[in-house]
């Protein structure tokens, strides 16, 4: 432990101060959070204020050891302009585009150097993974190392940190220590596994932010992925070792999922969902171009091909029977047989199955609802007789994809376990037939999709991240909406929730403290304070009409239940104790909390006294996401229409749960909220890659838009009491395909 000196070095322009020693940008007294590469972009600009910076020069300075596409620079500048735009002047007042040349930072910049300040440098613990990365465009290799470091800093001797700073400091320490713990577990499990992932090559195959759901061909030479732009999706195929690609399925306003190459690599199978999403249909298209053709009409996951190329497997949902089955069929989709069926409260998760290299076993994800909520695990199904065997007995919070490695001695997964503090899927290795699961990635991205080449030496996935900001729209008028916080919000905001207090503050769930917890802040994003501290997730808060209580969903004890705290976070009490409950909503008089009980595998609507007591069931029908009307007489929800098998907007009587109205057609989102005047239900609909808020009149009239934003997605929103304002989290999701290779076998 030692004391060192460091000069304080700043750049100031407009209301901003760029702190080089802390690598922070502040606007007046608020921190403006920037991703690291965006911060570096701003630093290059301010150091060269008034001078034209050529695009090539910028890219060489920002990415000196690698080649990247120009779109990466454009994305950085887009995010930087968004961050600087909150100052009041237009973005052009700071960054000027010079046509066909580059950019110029036009603001007057003042450089400041303060006297050195004593810093306490503490002993630190560091875990490191070395990764070799190859740039796909040039073939140039660079060695990079990923570090997880915990440093416990001391308070600065001349300034006491404010409450917000202390909270951020505590969050940083918790997050880094947690990271160390995870990686230590990673290291301890390494000796028992046959695959070593410390030395591996990660190559980014796309850099547009619009690529997702990748698949790799069996020979590892081709990669297919979905491209989403302006609300339309297309399917592209490219060679791993070459530039560019070609669209084999033209853009349409549908959702393409479940991309899988056939065994010979000549065709690509994929699942098409029309909008609004309901049943999927399986299509197949030649990889070298040609007309797609439909194989199966009713399918709910990607297909897995048998090693001999003669059969395929997939999952099919039977919502009216409460069943889900693993189906095996011929290569053309005929000769179907149910290999395994689960009936609620047991279930097969909608995770694409994976066929083992020896052809004997199909891996899939199975779960059940019990007294402590749901649990899922990976199981193997014998192809001949349907006998099932656990591949791992470990229970997981979520599993997105599973895929066998080529030698059959293990599987890869995108998943999160019950110790994961963030709602982010990471990549795991699962040894087979026995062994301790190992986490391969541990970062602030989420990984979606997983496809492994036949020899097991390469796999692809989509690396996803999210940038979002907080907006306030007075009286829900989008033309008057203003960005009120520079804080980048959470990756899973739509699941975490928003609510207003009667005095105009915002209650929300956030992972800023290293775990999903309940927070409160002013409506302009200032003075965030953490209200709950618990190792399990606390999310989806709602505030009582009198502002006295907050109810929320918590996974304390393993299962999800409804809990209640005071507005200051004190006096935590559990209100429900069923098999699993979420989506709480207060009645206007504050006496009751209406919620969804999902633990039995058949979600139904219940209510419980807000001050504690016996719960009462309101509806036996399959219903989710209840919202109580402003007058307390009705409950809006999404309910299963048995004849059609669709979830439809439904209004129930709050007194006895009978159906007052079921709307004729589903809407874009099952999450419905009453508008403040009680005349309509609001929901988010995304068209052309842009989200807006829509209203569905309670009298059955046609839906109509509430907001008319021209860009960005809406992740979560909440109406202020009496409709005075609307808060929205808006932003973009960036997704790119990466290929991971050269992870070695310890026995080689």
CATH classification at residue 38? 1.10.10.10
| 347 domain-assigned | no
Residues 660 and 534 in one domain: yes
CATH classification at residue 727? 2.120.10.30
- Out of 91, 124, 157, a domain closes at 124
Ordered DSSP codes for 221-255 = SEEEEEEEETTEEEEEEEETTSS--EEEEEEESSE
Residues 638 and 535 in one domain: yes
Residues 230 and 96 in one domain: no
Residue range 241-272, pLDDT digits in tens: 887 789 999 999 999 999 999 999 999 999 99
- C-beta neighbour count of 604 within 10 angstroms: 23
pLDDT in the model for residue 602: 79
Residue 227 has pLDDT above 60, yes or no: yes
**Helix, strand, coil tally for the chain in percent (to 5):** 10, 50, 40
Q: How much of the chain, in percent, has pLDDT values that exceed 90?
A: 47
Report the candidate in 374, 327, 329, 332 with the shortest Cα–Cα distance to residue 353: 327
- Out of 124, 144, 166, a domain closes at 124
Q: How confident is the model at residue 32 (pLDDT cuts 50, 70, 90)?
A: confident
Which stretches within 425-553 are classed as H helix? 493-496
Q: How confident is the model at residue 7 (pLDDT cuts 50, 70, 90)?
A: low
Report the candidate in 455, 452, 464 with the shortest Cα–Cα distance to residue 739: 452
Burial of 293 (0-12, 13-18, 19+ CB in 10 A): exposed
Strand partners, 112: 10
- C-beta neighbour count of 279 within 10 angstroms: 16
CA atoms within 13 A on the CB side of 120: 10
d(CA 237, CA 231): 20
pLDDT in the model for residue 510: 87
Q: Which of 20-24, 119-123, 207-211, 678-682 has the highest mean pLDDT?
A: 678-682
Residues 213 and 107 in one domain: no
d(CA 88, CA 45): 19
Residue range 623-672, pLDDT digits in tens: 999 999 999 999 999 998 888 878 999 999 999 999 999 999 889 899 99
Taking residues 354-370, report their average pLDDT: 91
What domain range includes position 543? 466-673+715-733
Q: Compare 392 and 653 and report the one with higher pLDDT.
A: 653
Q: Compare 147 and 544 and report the one with higher pLDDT.
A: 544
Residue 331 has pLDDT above 70, yes or no: yes
| 708 domain-assigned | no
Residue 130 has pLDDT above 70, yes or no: no
| 106 domain-assigned | yes
Residues 585 and 489 in one domain: yes
CB 451 within 8 A of CB 215: yes
Residue 177 has pLDDT above 80, yes or no: no
- Out of 299, 315, 337, a domain closes at 299
pLDDT in the model for residue 157: 32
pLDDT in the model for residue 601: 65
d(CA 694, CA 703): 7
Residue 125 has pLDDT above 70, yes or no: no
d(CA 47, CA 332): 62
Residue 63 has pLDDT above 80, yes or no: no
Q: How much of the chain, in percent, has pLDDT values that exceed 70?
A: 82
In the block, which residue shows the tokens 């099952």?
A: 670
Residues 251 and 119 in one domain: no
Q: What tokens does 11 get?
A: 């750049």
| 229 domain-assigned | yes
User: Strands 458-474, 482-485: parallel, antiparallel or unpaired by DSSP?
Assistant: antiparallel
- Report CA 519 to chain centroid distance, whole Å: 20
pLDDT in the model for residue 118: 34
- Report CA 3 to chain centroid distance, whole Å: 41
Residue 86 DSSP symbol = G
Q: Compare 36 and 487 and report the one with higher pLDDT.
A: 36
Taking residues 393-401, report their average pLDDT: 88
Q: Compare 161 and 36 and report the one with higher pLDDT.
A: 36
Residue 454 has pLDDT above 50, yes or no: yes
Which stretches within 295-355 are classed as H helix? none
Instruction: Mean pLDDT check: name the lowest of 150-164, 207-221, 338-352, 587-601.
Output: 150-164
Residue range 689-736, pLDDT digits in tens: 899 999 999 999 999 999 999 889 999 999 998 777 899 999 888 899
In the block, which residue shows the tokens 């195929």?
A: 237
Taking residues 353-382, report their average pLDDT: 87
As a dihedral over the C-alpha atoms of residue 735, residue 741, residue 744, residue 748, rounded to 10 degrees, the angle is: 150
Residues 106 and 208 in one domain: no
pLDDT in the model for residue 373: 60
- The three-point CA angle 41-46-51 to 5° equals 100
CB 714 within 8 A of CB 735: no
Residue range 462-514, pLDDT digits in tens: 999 888 888 998 877 877 888 886 555 566 667 789 999 999 999 999 887 77
Q: What tokens does 659 get?
A: 């159906």
Taking residues 99-117, report their average pLDDT: 77
CB 271 within 8 A of CB 301: yes
Taking residues 8-31, report their average pLDDT: 84
Report the candidate in 137, 256, 134, 205 with the shortest Cα–Cα distance to residue 463: 205
| 481 domain-assigned | yes
d(CA 669, CA 661): 18
User: Strands 125-134, 200-204: parallel, antiparallel or unpaired by DSSP?
Assistant: parallel
Instruction: Mean pLDDT check: name the lowest of 54-68, 89-103, 332-346, 381-395.
Output: 89-103
d(CA 691, CA 591): 35
| 295 domain-assigned | yes
Q: Compare 534 and 197 and report the one with higher pLDDT.
A: 534
pLDDT in the model for residue 57: 87
| 401 domain-assigned | no
Q: How confident is the model at residue 166 (pLDDT cuts 50, 70, 90)?
A: very low
Residue range 283-312, pLDDT digits in tens: 999 998 789 999 999 999 999 999 999 999
CA atoms within 13 A on the CB side of 643: 3
Number of domains in the chain: 3
**Mean pLDDT for the chain?**
82
| 150 domain-assigned | no
Which stretches within 592-692 are classed as H helix? none
């Amino acid at each position: 432990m030692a004391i060192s000196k460091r000069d304080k070095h700043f750049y100031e322009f407009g209301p901003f101060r760029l702190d080089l020693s802390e690598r922070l940008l502040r606007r007046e007294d608020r921190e403006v959070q920037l991703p690291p590469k965006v911060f570096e972009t701003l630093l290059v600009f301010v150091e060269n204020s008034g001078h034209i910076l050529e695009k090539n020069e910028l890219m060489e300075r920002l990415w000196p050891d690698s080649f990247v596409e120009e779109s990466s620079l454009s994305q950085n500048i887009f995010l930087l302009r968004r961050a600087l735009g909150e100052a009041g002047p237009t973005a052009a007042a700071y960054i000027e585009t010079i046509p066909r040349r580059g950019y110029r930072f036009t603001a007057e910049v003042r450089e400041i150097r303060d006297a050195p300040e004593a810093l306490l440098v503490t002993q630190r613990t560091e875990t490191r993974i070395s990764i070799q990365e190859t740039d796909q465009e040039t073939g140039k290799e660079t060695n990079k190392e990923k570090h997880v470091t915990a440093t416990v800093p001391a308070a600065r001797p001349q300034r006491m940190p404010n409450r917000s700073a202390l909270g951020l400091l505590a969050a940083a320490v918790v997050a880094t220590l947690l990271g160390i713990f995870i990686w230590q577990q990673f290291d301890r499990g390494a000796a028992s596994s046959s695959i070593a992932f410390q030395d591996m090559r990660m190559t980014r195959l796309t850099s547009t932010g619009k690529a997702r759901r990748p698949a790799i061909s069996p020979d590892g030479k081709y990669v297919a992925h979905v491209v989403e732009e302006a609300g339309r999706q297309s399917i592209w195929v490219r060679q791993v070792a070459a530039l560019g690609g070609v669209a084999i399925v033209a853009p349409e306003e549908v959702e393409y999922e479940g991309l899988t190459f056939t065994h010979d690599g000549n065709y690509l199978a994929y699942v098409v969902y029309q909008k609004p999403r309901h049943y999927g249909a399986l299509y197949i298209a030649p990889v070298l171009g040609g007309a797609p053709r439909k194989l199966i009409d009713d399918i709910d996951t990607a297909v897995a091909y048998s090693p001999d190329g003669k059969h395929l497997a997939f999952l099919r949902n039977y919502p009216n029977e409460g069943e889900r089955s693993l189906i095996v069929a011929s290569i053309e989709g005929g000769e179907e047989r149910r290999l395994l069926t689960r009936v609620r409260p047991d279930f097969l998760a909608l995770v694409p199955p994976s066929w083992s290299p020896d052809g004997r076993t199909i891996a899939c994800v199975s779960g059940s609802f019990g007294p402590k909520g749901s649990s899922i695990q990976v199981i193997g199904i014998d192809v001949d007789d349907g006998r099932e065997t656990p591949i791992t007995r470990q229970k997981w919070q979520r599993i997105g994809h599973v895929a066998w490695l080529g030698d059959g001695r293990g599987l890869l997964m995108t998943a999160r376990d019950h110790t994961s503090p963030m709602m982010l899927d990471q990549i795991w290795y699962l040894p087979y037939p026995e062994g301790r699961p190992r986490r391969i990635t541990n970062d602030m991205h989420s990984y979606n999709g997983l496809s492994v080449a036949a020899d097991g030496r390469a796999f692809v996935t989509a690396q996803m991240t999210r940038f979002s900001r907080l907006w306030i729209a007075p009286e829900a008028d989008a033309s008057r909406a203003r960005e009120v916080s520079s804080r980048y919000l959470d990756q899973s905001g739509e699941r975490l929730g928003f609510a207003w207090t009667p005095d105009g503050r915002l209650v929300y769930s956030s992972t800023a403290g290293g775990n999903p917890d309940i927070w409160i802040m002013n409506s302009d994003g200032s003075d965030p304070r953490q209200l709950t501290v618990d190792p399990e997730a606390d999310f989806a808060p709602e505030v009582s009409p009198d502002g006295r209580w907050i109810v929320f969903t918590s996974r304390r004890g393993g299962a999800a239940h409804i809990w209640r705290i005071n507005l200051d976070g004190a006096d935590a009490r559990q209100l429900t104790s069923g098999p699993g409950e979420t989506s709480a909503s207060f009645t206007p008089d504050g006496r009751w909390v209406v919620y969804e009980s999902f633990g039995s595998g058949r979600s139904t609507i219940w209510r419980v006294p807000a001050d504690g007591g016996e719960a009462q069931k309101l509806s036996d029908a399959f219903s989710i996401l209840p919202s109580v009307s402003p007058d307390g007489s009705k409950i809006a929800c999404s309910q299963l229409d048995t004849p059609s098998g669709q979830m439809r907007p439904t209004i129930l009587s709050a007194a006895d749960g009978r159906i007052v109205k079921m709307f004729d057609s589903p809407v874009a989102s099952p999450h419905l909220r009453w508008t403040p005047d009680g005349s309509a239900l609001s929901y988010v609909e995304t068209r052309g890659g842009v989200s807006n808020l829509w209203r569905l009149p309670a009298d059955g009239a046609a839906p109509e838009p509430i907001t008319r934003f021209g860009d960005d997605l809406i992740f979560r929103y909440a109406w202020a009491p009496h409709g005075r304002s609307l808060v929205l989290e808006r932003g973009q999701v960036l997704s790119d395909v990466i290929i991971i290779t050269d992870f070695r076998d310890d026995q080689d």
